[in-house]
Amino acid sequence: MEDYLPNEYDVVVVGTGMTESIVAAAASRIGKKVLHLDSDEYYGGLWATFNFDGLQKWIEDLKVSKSSAKDVSEVDLELEEKFLKTSNEYSTVENIEETWYISNDADLPVVSSKDTQTDSTGDGSGSGDEKSDDDKVEKKENVKQWSIDRIRKEYRKFNIDLAPKLLFARGELVELLISSNIARYAEFRAVSRVATFMDGKLTQVPCSRADVFANKTVSVVEKRMLMQLLTSCMEQGADSPEFDGFRDKTFLEYLNTKNLTPIVQHYVVQAIAMATEKTSCRDGVNRTKHFLNSLGRYGNTPFLWPMYGSGELPQCFCRLCAVFGGVYCLKRQLDGVVIHKNKCKAIISGKQRISLEHLVLGQGHLPPEVVASEGEQRISRGIFITDKSIMQGEKENLTLLYYPPEQPDQEPVTLIELGPSTNACPQGLFMVHMTCKRTTNAKEDLAYVVNKFLKAEPLDPLAIRSSIHSHTQTVSPDKRHIQEGDQDNREESTEESPKPQVLWSLYLNLPASDIKLNESTPSNLHLCSGPDLELDFDFAVNQAKSIFESMYPDKDFLPRAPDPEEIVLEGEEAPGPKFEGDTEAEEKQDVEKAEKED
Amino acid sequence: MEDYKFLFKVVLVGNAGVGKTCLVRRFTQGLFPPGQGATIGVDFMIKTVEVENEKVKLQIWDTAGQERFRSITQSYYRSAHALILVYDISCQPTFDCLPDWLREIEEYASNKVLRILVGNKIDREDREIPTHVGEDFAQRHGMYFLETSAKEAENVERLFMEIAAELMEQARSKELPRYETNTTSINGKTTSIGDTSNCGCSRLS
């Protein structure tokens, strides 16, 4: 059965990703009538965060292709109207590969288990059909208390991001959250350290002035050098004459003229600017500036992480949209759009025709007719549940690591490691997210970094369980393939502390975020991209701003929403029971009144 | 500094039209709102009450209409100390939906959240759910139970005062769901309780 929705709106938004949600909130905030739909039963689309169970469902659902939209013949059209079917092909997730590196409770010795009662939580894939003998159990040692069953049982304690992103403390999103007063819906944790790989080991990058001066690996001369360089990036910016000779050169070429020592250069390039050999001088300076600008606002580093995951943030904007009257309906499919004389006039959803002034579409809901190019910035992701931190410290850390390519054909990888205090995982575990630009597939693209920092081999060869689903041709679903693959990658370890053991991993490829629309696309149809490759949300915020500006050029973008204390409710002056009379009529008045308010 | 010792987040859920907003407005403003339109732009309501000579600030969150098509954001449930599940005693379907709501609560709210089942609209003559049926349901699911009338202001004060008292009791015995106290709240406010002074991270705006 389908819910019946009112069928006239100023703005219809389809998809609850980051950009869509910001636009929805902004339109609702200035009093526009907004309908916000999503075909999924959860918020966020490719920006979503799931608990372990929810993620399993999401993976399952990808295997079942969604029911395709209806045909033109089924739609009642008026004269000169055109119906364009929407497609989900621009949000296709590929090369999903989920692997367990541990065994089921049934395989474990009874003594090891704290939670002896086994529960009946749905055991989706790979039932425990293999047996293990005592020898193998011995080898399990430190991970023996973590079994597949236990992870499944504690599913609620996981918050797993499809597209994990950080916020720069003075980035676009933080400023927007504060200025719009949406910040009250979310909580954040400061990233506690920025790490870098130097001289064969991971070290913490000194971020603050105090850190720099307390650092023992950098000499006094180097400290002065570093401060000087940073100051010039910070104060003068990329347009300063300082960088005149480097307009078409790389950041590295500029740094080379500064006679920096290797350590200082390493910090600046790899940790602060997060640059590669190819990064232009301009970008490098801007990135350095952005990093430094955000220092000292909230924690030790310039970054914040949203509690419960990145998927919370689109929801904060949705909440604001709803508070200002936006109508929300999940599990509601968009079938197509009705075009009349190069203007988008309505959408068809189920049996309903819903008319609109502006249509804002997430990239998973585009009619192929309006797409000019599918984009190239595709994303490889790896998600790992591990048993310890990549860089163990005295307290729990939230770590960001930028790892530059080792070979010319590799892409730089961003690694974010989350601990239990972010609600990403239960006590005793860590969640590692890796992201890079796609070249082949997620597993291959990330392999060099996985092998560097993690131990991604089954604890017990019999325990390995792998399920490979994909929408396109991909790695053969052969167990041996995976094991061999792992063994190929020689151990170069002999470092102090052993690498974290991976208990579970998931690889996937997300679609490109730089889809382009045709010139002939109706001007009231606005595209919202999926997650991009950048570390932060600024791309989405800026895209939302420009969409809003093109819709309502003279209006304020998300002005501050009042605090509850500031709202004087009508009737407050004359308290007392006031419900006599025709409630229905009053109800109507109230709605009208509220609509006029803005 | 604001003048209160405890701050608790209370959220309301339940089908559209059961009187969630009316309960909140009756309690916080002492009036029975005639229509739903008035909730536009109102996010949550605040009322400071006194329990055993301590000031307790209740932050009461409403669904913003997202329950209409069962599309409440998960983030709505985060960090809630108490959760009021409301049905309409004169409307069977609102009672039949309770298991669905419980499922959603299980999924997203803390498992230590204080749960209260409320049968609203006892002023109505056309009761469909007898009191004992509601009571039974609450008992089976480990919830407190109360019947109210937002219209007649019956049991509304009592509902929120008992929640405040119970949460205070729990806070003192440290049984309250513990939300991380050292998270950064970027606008300088925080919904967490207790002291945040030793968290080692700044709360700036």
**pLDDT tens readout for residues A143-163:** 457 899 999 999 999 999 999
Q: Are residues A70 and A84 in the same domain?
A: yes
Q: Residue A38 pLDDT more than 70?
A: yes
Give the nearest partner residue to A174 out of B151, B186, B192, using CB atoms. B186
A307 at B interface, C-beta within 8 A = yes
Number of C-beta neighbours around residue A20 at 10 A: 35
Tokens of B180: 């991380």
Residue A282 resides in a domain: yes
Which range (A541-545, A561-565, B134-138, B179-183) has the least confidence? B179-183
Q: Please report, for the domain that includes residue A421, its CATH number.
A: 3.30.519.10
Whether residues B78 and A308 touch (CB distance < 8 A) is answered with: yes
Q: What percent of chain B has pLDDT over 70?
A: 80
CA B108 to chain A, closest CA, distance in angstroms equals: 8
Q: Residue B133 pLDDT more than 80?
A: yes
Tokens of A461: 């060869």
Contact predicate B144/B117, CB 8 Å = yes
Residue A181 resides in a domain: no
Task: Say which residue, A400 or A584, is predicted with more confidence.
Answer: A400
Task: Say which residue, B146 or A292, is predicted with more confidence.
Answer: B146
A565 at B interface, C-beta within 8 A = yes
pLDDT of residue A426: 95
Q: Residue A472 pLDDT more than 80?
A: no
Task: Say which residue, A156 or B198, is predicted with more confidence.
Answer: A156
Number of C-beta neighbours around residue B46 at 10 A: 14
Residue A2 binned pLDDT confidence (cut-offs 50, 70, 90): low
Task: Say which residue, B174 or B91, is predicted with more confidence.
Answer: B91
Give the nearest partner residue to A594 out of B40, B46, B78, using CB atoms. B40
pLDDT of residue B177: 66
Mark which of A300, A322, A352 sits at the end of a domain: A300
pLDDT of residue A491: 42
Q: What share of chain B is helix, strand, coil (3-state, %, to 5)?
A: 30, 20, 50
Q: pLDDT for B5-33, tens place per residue? A: 889 999 999 999 999 989 998 999 888 87
According to DSSP, residue A311 is labeled: T
CA B122 to chain A, closest CA, distance in angstroms equals: 16
pLDDT of residue B2: 62
The average pLDDT across A213-226 equals 82
Whether residues B191 and A187 touch (CB distance < 8 A) is answered with: yes
Residue A420 resides in a domain: yes
Q: How far apart are CA A44 and CA A310, in angstroms?
A: 9
Number of domains in chain A: 4
Q: Are residues A408 and A441 in the same domain?
A: yes
pLDDT of residue A73: 65
Q: Is A525 exposed, middle or buried (0-12, 13-18, 19+ CB in 10 A)?
A: buried
pLDDT of residue A258: 85
Task: Say which residue, A29 or A235, is predicted with more confidence.
Answer: A29
Q: How far apart are CA A556 and CA A541, in angstroms?
A: 15
| Residue for token pair 């920006």 | A47
Whether residues B202 and A185 touch (CB distance < 8 A) is answered with: no
The average pLDDT across A95-113 equals 74
Whether residues A577 and B31 touch (CB distance < 8 A) is answered with: yes
Q: How far apart are CA A176 and CA A513, in angstroms?
A: 22
Phi and psi for A567 in degrees, rounded to 5?
-85, 120
Q: Sort strands B6-13 and B54-61 into parallel, antiparallel or unpaired.
A: parallel
Q: Are residues A372 and A519 in the same domain?
A: yes
Q: Residue A589 pLDDT more than 50?
A: no
Q: Which residues of A touch B78 (CB under 8 A)?
A: 187, 307-308, 312
Residue A61 resides in a domain: yes
What are the C-alpha distances in Å from A320 to residues A177, A178, A183, B78? 11, 13, 11, 16
pLDDT of residue A99: 96
Residue A506 resides in a domain: yes
pLDDT of residue A119: 38
Amino acid in position B42: V
A309: left (phi over 0), alpha (psi -120 to 50) or beta: left
Q: Please report, for the domain that includes residue A521, its CATH number.
A: 3.50.50.60
Q: pLDDT for A300-335, tens place per residue? A: 899 999 999 999 999 999 999 999 999 999 999 999
Residue A180 resides in a domain: no
Q: Residue A80 pLDDT more than 80?
A: yes
Q: Are residues A523 and A570 in the same domain?
A: no
Q: Are residues A590 and A547 in the same domain?
A: no
Q: Are residues A71 and A111 in the same domain?
A: no
Task: Say which residue, A137 or A555, is predicted with more confidence.
Answer: A555
A578 at B interface, C-beta within 8 A = yes
pLDDT of residue A211: 76
Q: Are residues A443 and A499 in the same domain?
A: yes
Task: Say which residue, A185 or B4, is predicted with more confidence.
Answer: A185
Q: Are residues A235 and A135 in the same domain?
A: no
Residue A37 resides in a domain: yes
- Interface-testing mutation among A427, A578, A590, A597, with chain B (most B C-beta atoms within 10 A): A590
Q: Are residues A158 and A221 in the same domain?
A: no
Q: Are residues A385 and A460 in the same domain?
A: yes
pLDDT of residue A220: 85
CA A309 to chain B, closest CA, distance in angstroms equals: 10
| Helix pair angle (A18-29, A172-180), 10° resolution | 30
CA A327 to chain B, closest CA, distance in angstroms equals: 7
Tokens of A133: 């003998």
Q: What is the CATH number of domain B6-172?
A: 3.40.50.300
The mean pLDDT value of chain A amounts to 83
Q: Residue A83 pLDDT more than 90?
A: yes
pLDDT of residue A383: 98
pLDDT of residue A5: 86
pLDDT of residue A492: 43
Q: Which residues contact B80 (CB under 8 A, 6 or more apart)?
A: B9, B10, B11, B61, B109, B110, B113
The average pLDDT across B176-200 equals 47
Q: How far apart are CA A318 and CA B73, in angstroms?
A: 8
Q: Output b/e per residue, A562-581; b: 16+ Cβ within 10 A.
A: eebeeeebebeeeeeeeeee
What are the C-alpha distances in Å from A120 to residues A150, B101, B120? 11, 22, 36
Q: What percent of chain A has pLDDT over 70?
A: 80
At residue A185, the 3 state secondary structure works out as helix
pLDDT of residue A591: 36
pLDDT of residue A580: 37
Q: Residue A138 pLDDT more than 70?
A: no
Which residues in A207-301 belong to E strands, given as ranges? Answer: none
pLDDT of residue A238: 78
- Interface-testing mutation among A16, A43, A176, A328, with chain B (most B C-beta atoms within 10 A): A328
Give the nearest partner residue to A190 out of B44, B46, B184, using CB atoms. B184
Task: Say which residue, A69 or A50, is predicted with more confidence.
Answer: A50
Range of the domain at A524: 11-93+308-376+515-551
The average pLDDT across B1-5 equals 69
The average pLDDT across A259-284 equals 90
Q: Which residues of B touch A5 (CB under 8 A)?
A: 69
Where do the domains of chain B lie? 6-172
What are the C-alpha distances in Å from B135 to residues B15, B139, B158? 19, 6, 17
The average pLDDT across A439-468 equals 81
Q: Closest Cα partner for B99 from B26, B13, B174? A: B13
The three-state DSSP-derived secondary structure of B54-108 is EEEEEEEECCCCCCCCCCCCHHHCCCCCEEEEEEECCCHHHHHCHHHHHHHHHHH
ipTM confidence: 0.88
Which range (A292-296, A395-399, A513-517, B41-45) has the least confidence? B41-45
What are the C-alpha distances in Å from A220 to residues A202, A226, A259, A292? 22, 10, 15, 20
CA A523 to chain CA mean position, Å? 28
pLDDT of residue A427: 93
A184 at B interface, C-beta within 8 A = yes
Written as one string, the DSSP assignment of A478-515 is: -HHHHHHHHHHS------SSPPPBEEEEEEEEEPPS--
pLDDT of residue A72: 59
Whether residues B38 and A594 touch (CB distance < 8 A) is answered with: yes
The average pLDDT across B52-63 equals 92
Q: Residue B123 pLDDT more than 70?
A: yes
Q: Are residues A108 and A73 in the same domain?
A: no
pLDDT of residue A498: 87
Which range (A177-181, A219-223, B90-94, B145-149) has the least confidence? A219-223
Mark which of A252, A281, A300 sits at the end of a domain: A300
pLDDT of residue A46: 97
